[in-house]
């Protein structure tokens, strides 16, 4: 009876597998959410870890179930299967997962994130083989694994910056900035001429983080000024690095197209200039833009609208995100989910009473002068979008400082915040 009681229960294992996939999907939203702090992320991460532990304890039964779930290989399914394959050192299953990732973008995302989730100890031997592989996708995942754990892959990273595969070059350029590899600044500068858009963007981003304040900004401005997949990221980074007159010049250009209003509102927050506060308050009259305008208001002033009772009820009839109607073709998620609805009247009153503390033309970040100490405080206490911005500002203030990994497991982030250059 005792031996029988220790056999894995299929229904329980199935639940662990399903919850692991679902929570991985939820996590991808939470790490970018405007209302989530590190302790919120840690609660979800602990739940996800518990379900993955349940699969691991089930042994072969858990691995087989995860492999069976790959018949419909979403990000979460591939993530769970990869975590188990890494922890069990199962090279055969890893080979199958890499073959899947080579053909399906969602499988590639799940595979990559699993290498960031597991401990560095579990990656011993595996990453070294990836970095030495003849297949570019394996070298790319190997570099990504090192970057996510903030471990230096050494000379191989330099070689990857010149690889014929543009996807590998892009990941190598990105890793150079994430790791603070100032010795690779010349390689990133060379990448500013890359024919591949993503590789060129990543090269410019990392060159800027590594101390280049000339050619990298020109390339990023080109991405920020014109429609392309990297535009929002380029604008945010560029605005964080330039002076107020330069920021105002580009934002005026972007404002000429009414279709750019969301981008413009986001840019006003990234610029950190109180000059845009009256305009942001005006944008709150439009329910489609009100919450985003409130977030940018907070990026300048540092106010937590919900905490300060500066929000209003949602408008009547609001249906955020996709609804239950199968005939409705709109399946897009609500971009501003989690943001408070700003009360424009209360915010105007607050601004009238406090605007003298925010001289226009001077950059502030969440209501404070930009400083290393304040960025570290935001990394500890801020919301996820604020923490991501603080990580970038901190690297810009101290070129060569590794980019703080705000998307990594919460316990790993907490450990980093308790020691080293981020404490």
How much is the pLDDT for 423? 57
How much is the pLDDT for 16? 87
Residue-wise pLDDT for 18-72, tens only, equals: 899 999 999 999 999 999 999 999 999 999 999 999 988 877 777 777 777 677 7
Q: What's the pLDDT band for 327 if we cut at 50, 70, 90? A: low
Rounded CA gap, 248 and 258, in Å?
17
The residue-averaged pLDDT of 294-299 equals 98
The residue-averaged pLDDT of 323-339 equals 66
Q: Give the tokens for residue 151.
A: 């471990």
Rounded CA gap, 387 and 320, in Å?
25
The pLDDT of residue 184 is above 90: yes
Q: Which residues pair with 365 in a beta bridge?
A: 368
Residue-wise pLDDT for 219-246, tens only, equals: 999 999 999 999 999 999 999 999 999 9
**Long-range contact list for 256-262, CB < 8 A, 24+ apart?**
261/289, 262/289, 262/292, 262/335
How much is the pLDDT for 320? 59
How much is the pLDDT for 1? 37
Rounded CA gap, 21 and 160, in Å?
32
pLDDT > 90 in the chain, percent: 84
How much is the pLDDT for 2? 41
The pLDDT of residue 130 is above 80: yes
The pLDDT of residue 182 is above 90: yes
Backbone angles phi, psi at 326, to 5 degrees: -70, -15
The pLDDT of residue 406 is above 60: yes
Backbone angles phi, psi at 419, to 5 degrees: -155, 160
How much is the pLDDT for 69? 67
Residue-wise pLDDT for 79-122, tens only, equals: 999 999 999 999 999 999 999 999 999 999 999 999 999 999 99
Q: Which of these ranges, 286-300, 316-330, 346-360, 391-405, has the smallest mean pLDDT?
A: 316-330
The pLDDT of residue 3 is above 60: no
Q: Give the tokens for residue 350.
A: 């607050």
What does pLDDT average to over the chain?
92
Q: What's the pLDDT band for 7 if we cut at 50, 70, 90? A: low
Yes or no: say if 73 and 100 are a contact pair by the CB < 8 Å rule: yes
The pLDDT of residue 330 is above 50: no
How much is the pLDDT for 279? 98
The residues, any chain, with a CB within 8 Å of residue 347's CB and separated by 6 or more, are 281, 284, 294, 297, 305, 310
Flag whether the pTM goes above 0.85: yes
pLDDT > 70 in the chain, percent: 93
Residue 37 CB-density burial (10 A; 0-12 exposed, 13-18 middle, 19+ buried):
middle
More confident residue, 330 or 182: 182
How much is the pLDDT for 71? 77
The pLDDT of residue 419 is above 80: no
Backbone angles phi, psi at 338, to 5 degrees: 95, -15
Q: Which of these ranges, 129-133, 337-341, 377-381, 417-421, has the smallest mean pLDDT?
A: 417-421
The pLDDT of residue 322 is above 80: no
């Amino acid at each position: 009876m005792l031996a029988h009681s220790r056999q894995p229960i299929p229904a329980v294992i199935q639940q662990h597998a399903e919850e692991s996939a679902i929570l991985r999907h939820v996590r991808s939203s939470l790490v970018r959410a405007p209302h989530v702090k590190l302790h919120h992320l840690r609660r979800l991460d602990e739940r996800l870890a518990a379900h993955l532990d349940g699969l691991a304890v089930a042994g072969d039964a858990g691995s087989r179930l995860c492999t069976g779930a790959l018949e419909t290989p979403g990000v979460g399914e591939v993530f769970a299967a990869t975590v188990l394959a890494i922890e069990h050192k199962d090279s055969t299953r890893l080979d199958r997962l890499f073959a899947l990732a080579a053909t399906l973008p969602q499988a590639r995302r799940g595979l990559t994130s699993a290498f960031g989730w597991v401990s560095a100890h579990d990656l011993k031997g595996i990453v070294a083989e990836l970095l030495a592989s003849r297949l570019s996708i394996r070298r790319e995942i190997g570099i990504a694994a090192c970057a996510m754990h903030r471990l230096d892959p050494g000379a191989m990273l330099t070689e990857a910056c010149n690889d014929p595969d543009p996807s590998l070059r892009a990941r190598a350029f990105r890793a150079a900035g994430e790791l603070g590899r100032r010795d690779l600044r010349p390689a990133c500068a060379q990448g500013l001429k890359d024919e591949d858009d993503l590789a060129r963007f990543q090269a410019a981003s990392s060159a800027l983080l590594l101390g280049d304040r000339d050619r990298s900004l020109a390339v990023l401005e080109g991405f920020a000024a014109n429609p392309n997949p990297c535009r929002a990221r380029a604008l945010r980074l560029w605005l964080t690095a330039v002076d107020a007159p330069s920021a105002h010049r580009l934002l005026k250009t972007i404002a000429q197209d009414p279709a750019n209003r969301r981008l413009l509102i986001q840019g006003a927050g990234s610029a950190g200039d109180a000059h845009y506060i009256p305009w942001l308050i005006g944008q709150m009259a439009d329910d489609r833009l009100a919450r985003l305008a409130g977030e940018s208001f907070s990026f300048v002033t540092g106010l937590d609208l919900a905490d300060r009772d500066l929000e209003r009820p949602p408008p009547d009839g609001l249906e955020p995100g996709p609804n239950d109607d199968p005939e409705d073709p709109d399946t897009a998620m609500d971009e501003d989910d989690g943001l408070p609805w700003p009360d424009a009247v209360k915010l105007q009153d607050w601004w009238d009473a406090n605007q003298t503390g925010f001289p226009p033309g001077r950059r502030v970040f969440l209501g404070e002068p930009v400083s290393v100490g304040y960025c570290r405080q935001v990394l500890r206490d801020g919301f996820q979008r604020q923490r991501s911005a603080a990580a970038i500002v901190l690297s810009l203030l101290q070129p060569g400082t590794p980019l703080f990994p705000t998307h990594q497991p919460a316990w790993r982030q907490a450990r980093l915040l308790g020691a080293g250059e981020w404490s």
